[in-house]
Amino acid sequence: MTVLSATAGRLQSGVAPLQEPRPSAVLLVTMLLLAFGLLMMTSASVEIADSRYGDPLYFLKRQSIFACVGVGLMFMLMLVPINFWNRLNLLLLLGSYAMLVIVLLPGIGREVNGSMRWIDLGFFALQPSEPAKVLLVIYLASYLERHRERVSATWLGFLLPLLLIGIAVVLLQMEPDHGAMVILSLTALCMVFLAGAGIWRVLSLLLLSTGSIALLAYTQPYVVRRFTAFLDPWAPENIYGAGYQLGQAQIAFGRGGLFGAGVGNSIQKLDFLPEAHNDFVLAVIGEELGLAGVALVTLLFCMLVWCCFSIAREAHLRERFFSAYLAWGLGLLFAGQTMVNIGVNLGLLPTKGLTLPFLSYGGASLIVCCGMIGLLLRIQYETECISRPHAARRRRLP
């Protein structure tokens, strides 16, 4: 009787009753990536862990702890109403700025290979750009929901959110972290376009940004060296310098062939390919599982991004605009980081220090990726299970 009364009350108030949640493809793909990532990261790190720490499973133990923390965060965020983040939009923007500033302070940020990207927390090194990107996407989704008409109708409405993102881009340049800069900038441009901004405005700003980034890169000698090595990694002046990692990665893919040498049988991970368990874990997958393994990884990430965009489209059809823009933004972050990492491993892009989500070793990256999945699952739950009267009225996307 209580359930019937509650249902009748909802119908009388104009809100449809709650529906049972459907099995989530996002969660399934995430768990597959987590399990596969632990396997291949362990295979890529056994030798280096044994030589450095005397424990072949050193990185597996740490990554397992990060995975447990990440999964716990995922389920915690599933319990938080998505509107909670909408209300905190300004605090999240300021928090992202604060993290990107703190890492630049002497004595707090830790410099590695000339970049100030990490804060040493003892158990692991936090890379503030990872959570900052998500916080900025949440703020941008909130702005686009509140100012949809201005974004599509005026240059000021179009440029203002991008200028706020531009402040974060400047801070990332000061680290420097060019990979995060590019991914954040492209994600913001795509989100603004999806919110209704004209294609010519987006293209004009994209051309201007591309020219500015190219000019900035030209003034940095180490960036020029990386780009030169990317064009010809096998040149004598590059193969033992800036092109070394790319050359060793290509050897790994070539040795793997179609079906690979078998899990655990990689030769390149024996200190030929530096830090193979981090940014170049895909090269080890290519060597041990061949083209088939790389295709499987690519397929899983395509499925993940497709699920993100499907959730966003459903939310947009039900006029839950903040949820839609946020889901699009999170999907674009996954897509951008995955494409850049795969492109770098295959030699299609210049070498950049970007992890492969869920597969590369790293606490901050893994925990933040799990948190992003938690937000997506909450959006999916609210979109599918909490319907409103206008939800049945389907509109075509612009």
Q: Compute the half-sphere exposure of residue 125: CA atoms within 13 Å on the CB side of its CA.
A: 14
Local confidence band at 19 (pLDDT 50, 70, 90 cut-offs)? very low
Task: Indicate the SS3 state at residue 398.
Answer: coil
**Whose structure tokens read 């605009």?**
321
DSSP structure string for 131-152: HHHHHHHHHHHHHHHHTHHHHH
Residue 393, pLDDT score: 44
- pLDDT at 245 > cutoff 60: yes
d(CA 64, CA 367): 11
Q: Residue 391: is its pLDDT beyond 60?
A: no
pTM: 0.88
User: Which residue blocks in 257-362 are alpha helix, DSSP H?
Assistant: 281-317, 321-346
Q: Check whether 20 has a pLDDT greater than 60.
A: no
Buried b (16+ CB within 10 A) or exposed e, 58-94: bbbebbeebbebbbebbeebbeeebeebbeebeebbe
Q: Predicted confidence band at 217 (pLDDT cuts at 50, 70, 90)? A: low
* Rounded distance between C-alpha atoms, residue 192 and residue 372, angstroms: 20
Report the C-alpha gap between 145 and 132 in whole angstroms.
Answer: 20
Provide the token pair at 377: 């699952």
Distances (CA, A) of 297 to 108, 327, 372, 373: 36, 22, 19, 18
Q: What is the mean pLDDT of the chain?
A: 85
Give the pLDDT of residue 322: 95
Q: What does the pLDDT look like over 351-376, one tens digit per residue?
A: 777 889 999 998 889 999 999 999 99
Tokens of 345: 């491993």
So what's the pLDDT on residue 163?
Answer: 92
pLDDT of residue 22: 53
Give the total residue count for the chain. 398
| 144-170 average pLDDT score | 89
More confident residue, 116 or 102: 102
Question: In this predicted structure, which of 11-15, 248-252, 331-335, 370-374 has the lowest mean pLDDT?
Answer: 11-15
SS (H, E, C) 333-372: HHHHHHHHHHHHHHCCCCCCCCCCCCCCCCHHHHHHHHHH
The tens digit of pLDDT for each residue in 176-199 reads 888 888 899 999 999 999 988 888
Average pLDDT of the residues in 25-49: 93
